[in-house]
């Protein structure tokens, strides 16, 4: 069974063993974000820089597969930085293209409320994200992320192409690429102007959608844990009733504790000898 990749288009290799990553299409024209981001920057950024991350990721994965097939653990370890850098570059840019739009709309009510709760106001959040992004030393990213454990929006920066979720656990909502290749042709050395302007092409529909998915994923996990706990408790209680040889107790428990009763019935089939003995 092959792993399901979460981003990009998929192509199966000729031997049907490994899938290759491909460069995702932009959801708009290269010139669509002008004047905030020029056509030239978008074209180079997408078709050259992002494409290079994809190609290098595929090459690293190919070497990894060969090394694993030979049991060559030394090579597997030496490939880790290339996988992190190029895999991160592919993940980050795939999010970045979707985070931007010439018609990004407005943030959802739920996201606005969360931003106001965690930052005081939308303006404060923008200022903090901009300041952190501008302050990245060298190349990296500024992120608005969601901490699922703390149920809180946070600002975080990452160096190089470190992917936010894999390195910090935060769910990426909005990323600002502050590598020079993202702005230098147009903004020269004034990164602050580029970061300030990028909010004008923020795709708030996409950012809001990411926030809502992060919330649902957290709620689903909590629900699964509670269900698991409930079923385990019911199983223990059901087994106790069985061991106590009390079929009447099972019948009496149906209205008030249907899950316990169901577990008892199922358990009775699994422990039929004991059930017959008790009768
Ligand atoms: Fe980039």
**Radius of gyration, CA atoms only, the chain:** 26
Give the model confidence (pLDDT) of 127-180 as tens digits. Answer: 999 999 999 999 999 999 999 999 999 999 999 999 999 999 999 999 999 999
Centre of ligand 1 to C-alpha 93, Å, is: 6
User: Nearest-CA neighbor of 156 among 98, 168, 213, 92?
Assistant: 168
Centre of ligand 1 to C-alpha 149, Å, is: 29
Reduced to 3 states, what is the DSSP secondary structure of residue 173?
strand
What angle is formed at CA 10 by the lines to CA 13 and CA 77, rounded to 5 degrees? 70
Centre of ligand 1 to C-alpha 136, Å, is: 14
User: Nearest-CA neighbor of 50 among 109, 1, 97, 2?
Assistant: 97
Give the model confidence (pLDDT) of 64-112 as tens digits. Answer: 999 999 999 999 999 999 999 999 999 999 999 999 999 999 999 999 9
The answer to whether 27 and 98 are in contact (CB under 8 A) is yes
Centre of ligand 1 to C-alpha 201, Å, is: 16
pTM above 0.85, yes or no: no
Centre of ligand 1 to C-alpha 92, Å, is: 8
Centre of ligand 1 to C-alpha 143, Å, is: 14
Centre of ligand 1 to C-alpha 38, Å, is: 14
User: Nearest-CA neighbor of 21 among 37, 2, 8, 40?
Assistant: 8
Cis bond upstream, residue 35 (ω within 30): yes
């Amino acid at each position: 069974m092959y792993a399901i990749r979460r981003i990009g288009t998929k192509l199966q290799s000729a031997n049907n063993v490994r899938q290759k990553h491909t460069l995702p299409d932009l959801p708009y024209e290269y010139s669509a974000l002008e004047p905030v981001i020029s056509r030239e920057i978008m074209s180079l950024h997408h078709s050259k820089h992002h494409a290079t991350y994809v190609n290098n990721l595929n090459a690293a994965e190919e070497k990894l597969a060969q090394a694993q097939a030979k049991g060559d653990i030394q090579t597997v370890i030496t490939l880790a930085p290339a996988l992190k850098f190029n895999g991160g570059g592919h993940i980050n840019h795939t999010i970045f293209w979707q985070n931007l739009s010439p018609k990004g709309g407005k943030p959802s009510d739920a996201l606005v409320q969360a931003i106001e709760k965690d930052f005081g106001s939308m303006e404060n959040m923008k200022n903090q994200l901009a300041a952190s992004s501008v302050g990245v030393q060298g190349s990296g990213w500024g992120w608005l992320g969601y901490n699922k454990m703390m149920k809180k929006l946070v600002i975080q920066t990452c160096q190089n192409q470190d992917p936010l979720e894999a390195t910090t656990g935060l769910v990426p909502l909005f990323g600002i690429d502050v590598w020079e290749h993202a702005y230098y042709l147009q903004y020269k050395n004034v990164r602050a102007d580029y970061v300030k302007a990028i909010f004008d092409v923020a795709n708030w529909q996409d950012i809001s959608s990411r926030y809502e998915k992060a919330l649902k994923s957290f709620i689903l996990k909590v629900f699964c844990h509670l269900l698991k706990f409930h079923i385990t408790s019911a199983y223990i209680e059901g087994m106790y009733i069985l061991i106590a040889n009390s079929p009447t107790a099972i019948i009496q428990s149906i209205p008030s504790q249907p899950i316990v009763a169901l577990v008892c019935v199922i358990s009775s089939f699994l422990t039929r000898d004991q059930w017959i003995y008790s009768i």
